[in-house]
């Protein structure tokens, strides 16, 4: 592996995830310069001080135009990925983009086209790919340990603090749905585990009894059919009550093959904390009072990992440091590609479209058609 010059890193967005990746960047020896950008001056300046960043601005164009920058992390809110990503692509920077590529399918297509046209090394933030249990499953599938996969069942349960935190930051909520924002993680995992299979249709339904007043759905359940006859049930609810013990979410995946089965229980119920001391939520929107304290917690259910001695340990550490290693040395990694990210967005939106129409949707869907009906 050829070692590159030290990385000049730009991080656009200094919130929870941007902060995690920035702290890891400061500790990585292959990074020689760090610049930060956030529209909230206090948030950006605090992180600048904490990691002793080399530069801070509220203008992403100003940061991405700096000659020191050779790679960028796009960690803004979901609705605001398009412009900084396109700017970074125009500069030829190596890219790490938090999911999704965009919340507008047409913009996502433009980003993918630009990335491919400019031969940009771009990856998408699907942290679960870096957990040991899923890497083990991937290896078993690749080596044919259960034969050909014929059916898959996926169920994700999430605390409603996550959607409230997400939609409360914007009035543009049409595409901030359970599947587009969060179900995409379990969808990506299953599509990665079923790599090589092509979905041809999906039929889905949604409900919104609890979260409709926030401008989003409670749950979306769908059935995908693949060109080889494989079927996949993909279900998510992110409307569980705030007292639900999962800090964010847990998933279950059952994979049936012609010669075996793999059953994954990833609900984190193997480590339970019960205490008189109220526990916080994984993603708690600023200023939001849940109205009820949580006194039971499924430990390790916060997807990025867990804090010990002031440091994050877990899959987001693995994912982030692997990306730094990827761009510093050229090492191969299991990151999702930009093409994966775009495909995932179309599939999640196709589920939303099917639920809206009340009938199956052929895949892949047309981005223009998606936005015309879902916006």
C-alpha angle with apex 69: 338 to 166, nearest 5 degrees? 50
Clarify whether residues 110 and 155 are in a common domain: no
End-to-end CA distance of the chain: 46
pLDDT of the residue at 207: 97
The answer to whether residue 239 is domain-embedded is yes
Residue 291 pLDDT: 80
Residues in the chain: 375
pLDDT average, residue stretch 128-140? 97
The answer as to whether 347 is a domain residue is no
Each residue's pLDDT tens digit, 30-50: 999 999 999 999 999 999 999
Same domain membership, residue 102 and residue 153: no
**pLDDT tens-digit readout, 312-352:** 999 999 999 999 999 999 999 999 999 999 999 999 999 99
- Does residue 175 form part of some domain? yes
Same domain assignment for residues 147 and 284: yes
Count of structural domains within the chain: 2
pLDDT band at 155 (very low <50, low <70, confident <90, very high): very high
User: Do 159 and 50 lie in a common domain?
Assistant: no
Inside any domain, residue 359 = no
Task: Over range 196-214, report the average pLDDT.
Answer: 96
Same structural domain, 187 and 228: yes
Is the pLDDT confidence value at 370 over 70?
yes
How does DSSP assign 140-205, residue by residue?
HHHTTTT-SEEEEEEEEEEETHHHHHHHTT-S--TT--IIIIIIHHHHHHHHHHTTT--EEEEEEE
Model pLDDT, residue 168: 83
Distances (CA, A) of 140 to 97, 258, 262, 265, 319: 29, 14, 9, 16, 21
Average pLDDT of the segment spanning 217-243: 97
Residue 114 covered by a domain:
yes
Do 146 and 117 lie in a common domain? no
Q: Which CATH number do you get for residue 275? A: 3.30.360.10
Question: For the chain, percent helix, then strand, then coil, each to nearest 5?
Answer: 35, 30, 35
In a domain, 60, yes or no: yes
**Prior bond to 226 cis, omega within 30?**
no
In a domain, 367, yes or no: no
Neighbours of 253 (CB within 10 A): 21
Residue of 150 and 170 predicted with greater confidence: 150
Q: Kind and range of the H or E element at 249?
A: strand 249-257
CATH number at residue 322: 3.40.50.720
93 plus 143 within the same structural domain? no
Q: Are residues 214 and 275 in the same domain?
A: yes
Is 259 in the same domain as 176? Answer: yes
For residue 107, give every residue at least 6 positions away whose Cβ sits within 8 Å of its Cβ, in sequence order, or none.
82, 101
Q: Do 221 and 295 sit in the same domain of this protein?
A: yes
Is the per-residue pLDDT at 1 higher than 60?
no
Tell me: do 109 and 97 sit in the same domain: yes
Given this model, what pLDDT does residue 285 score? 62
Mean pLDDT value of segment 215-230: 97
Structural domain harbouring 165? 129-308
In a shared domain, residues 298 and 324: no
Q: pLDDT tier at 174 (50, 70, 90 boundaries)?
A: confident
In-domain check, residue 71: yes
Secondary structure class of 27 (helix, strand, coil):
helix
């Amino acid at each position: 592996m050829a070692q590159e010059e030290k990385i000049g890193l730009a991080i656009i967005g200094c919130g929870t995830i941007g902060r995690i990746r920035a702290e890891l960047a400061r500790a990585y020896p292959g990074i020689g310069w760090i610049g930060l950008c956030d529209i909230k001056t206090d948030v950006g300046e605090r992180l600048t001080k904490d990691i002793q960043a080399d530069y801070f601005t509220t203008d992403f164009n100003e940061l991405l135009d700096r000659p020191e920058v050779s790679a960028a992390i796009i960690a803004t809110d979901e609705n605001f990925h398009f412009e900084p990503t396109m700017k970074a692509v125009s500069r030829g920077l190596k890219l790490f983009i938090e999911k999704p590529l965009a919340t507008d399918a047409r913009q996502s297509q433009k980003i993918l086209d630009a990335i491919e046209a400019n031969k940009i090394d771009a990856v998408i933030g699907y942290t679960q790919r870096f957990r040991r249990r899923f890497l083990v499953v991937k290896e078993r599938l690749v080596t044919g340990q259960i034969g050909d996969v014929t059916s898959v069942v996926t169920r994700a349960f999430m605390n409603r603090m996550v959607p409230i935190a997400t939609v409360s930051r914007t009035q543009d909520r049409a595409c901030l749905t359970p599947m587009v924002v969060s179900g995409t993680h379990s969808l990506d995992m299953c599509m990665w585990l079923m790599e090589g299979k092509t979905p041809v249709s999906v039929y889905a339904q949604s409900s919104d009894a609890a979260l409709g007043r926030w401008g989003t759905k409670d749950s979306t359940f769908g059935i995908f059919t693949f060109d080889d006859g494989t079927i996949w049930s993909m279900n998510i609810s992110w409307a569980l009550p705030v007292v639900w013990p999962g800090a964010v979410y847990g998933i279950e995946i059952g994979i049936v093959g012609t010669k075996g089965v793999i059953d994954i229980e990833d609900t984190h119920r193997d480590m339970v904390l019960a205490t008189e001391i109220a526990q916080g939520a994984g993603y708690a929107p600023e200023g939001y009072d849940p109205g009820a304290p949580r006194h039971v917690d499924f430990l390790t259910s916060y997807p990025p990992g867990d804090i010990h001695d002031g440091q994050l340990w877990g899959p987001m550490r693995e994912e982030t440091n692997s990306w730094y290693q990827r761009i510093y040395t050229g090492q191969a990694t299991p990151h999702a590609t930009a093409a994966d990210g775009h495909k995932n967005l179309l599939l999640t939106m196709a589920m939303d479209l099917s639920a809206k129409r009340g009938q199956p949707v052929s895949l892949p869907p047309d981005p223009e058609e998606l936005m015309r009906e879902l916006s």
